[in-house]
Structure 1
């Protein structure tokens, strides 16, 4: 396939993957199967036909509603499909080849974890483990960062937040970080290397500050114990860093 077509292929593949991920994000927390049985409307049980399952297009053609019961389809389903398409296109634009496909997988895993964290404050161990393992395996496709840097990234990512979480709990007597936050940072470290971890935390902090300001502007109270999805914020910072690391010939370290 010509290199200029690969980002388009990434977009198309991202739409398909995104449709699956959106269903996974909806059903997994409810302990419902993602692959068993035919797809159906969650409100009325109407079994969906092939033309009702086309990513993005079906949502638009049906005006965002089930054709049978007219119940609104969750807008976040569409958002996940579009985000997955964007991730696929950008990854293969940054690296038109196997490394780009690997980067797309990184982005899709981050997208799934971020959505689960926002909606359910849940970062599944199985998914963070897959994130870490795939990051180490991707080291076979790219010389930078090195496998040693990735291993240190995983260890440093986990240890840094685990120590902060333990210290906060000892000081304040309550949880300050979710148990999955050190694990997702470990997974990110396995992809980006230990040198990128400060930038991930910085990016997450800036994003969190912007979220808090937007909540205040909308009249939502923000206090010291207000829960922010740190895992989602770190995921949001990590994929752009991978793009820069890949297309920009590495981070300045």
Structure 2
């Protein structure tokens, strides 16, 4: 009985680390692509959402993942539309909304605020570094995907690995 319990715990840990490896790999690829091109390709974000929902199902948290996906996407799209209406220019892309939707799938709706807090703080530091280098912050485009990726992974680690 003790051996069976030990094997099930070991299997659970291995499955979590497998999911973590997949998450980190795709987030790293998305961060590099967005940093270089300002594009988050659907061929990576959509599978990340799907795999995140599979992870949520495995964690018996599918509803939290679905709500997180919907709220993450809708929240950033609303922010995008409000910014465009106020400033007349695009401030955030739909790829960022899809990436936050993936974060909601992986971390649940309760992880979204932490993802955004980490991403915003990281983005602010990035913007400050750019402004100190002499770049005009008003005309400087800043990819948000790498910051979202950092927020997603750190939040996921805190929720599922470090608990």
Instruction: Flag the structure with higher helix content.
Output: 2
Q: Which residue among 71, 89, 100 is the counterpart of 1:185? A: 100
| Cross-structure match for 1:247 | 161
Distance 2:94 2:136 in 1: 22
Between the two proteins, the alignment pairs up a number of residues equal to: 152
Supply the distance in 2 between the matched residues of 1:187 and 1:210 (Cα, whole angstroms).
24
Q: Is the contact between residue 45 and residue 102 of structure 2 (CA under 8 Å) also seen in structure 1? A: yes
Distance 2:143 2:131 in 1: 16
Asked if the contact 2:130–2:137 (Cα under 8 Å) also holds between the matched residues in 1, the reply is no
1:173 and 2:88 matched? yes
**CA distance 1:194–1:222, shift in 2 (3 Å):** farther
Show the counterpart of 1:157. 72
Give the alignment partner of residue 200 of structure 1, picking from 78, 90, 115.
Answer: 115
Is the radius of gyration larger for structure 1 or structure 2? 1
Partner of 2:8: none
Matches of 1:224 and 1:127 in 2, distance apart? 30
* d(CA) in 2 for partners of 1:123, 1:194: 22
CA contact (8 A) 2:30 2:40 kept: yes
Structure 2 unaligned residues grouped into runs of 5+: 1-11
1:105 maps onto 2:22 in alignment: yes
1:131 pairs, out of 18, 23, 48, with 48
d(CA) in 1 for partners of 2:161, 2:103:
18
Q: How is 1:58-73 mapped onto 2 (pairs within 5 angstroms)?
A: none
The TM-score with structure 2 as length reference comes to: 0.87
Q: Which runs of 5+ in 1 are unaligned?
A: 1-94
CA distance in structure 1 between the aligned counterparts of 2:150 and 2:70, rounded to whole angstroms: 21
Query: Which of 1 and 2 has higher RCO (CA within 8 Å, sep 6+)?
Result: 2
Cα RMSD (Å): 1.4
Matched, 1:228 2:142: yes
1:225 deviates by 3.6
Contact 1:158/1:186 (CA < 8 Å) preserved in 2?
A: yes
Q: Provide the C-alpha distance between the structure 1 equivalents of 2:152 and 2:144, rounded to a whole number of angstroms.
A: 12
Distance in 1 separating the partners of 2:162 and 2:154: 11
Question: Aligned equivalents of 1:233 and 1:105: distance in 2?
Answer: 18
Matched residue, 1:147: 62
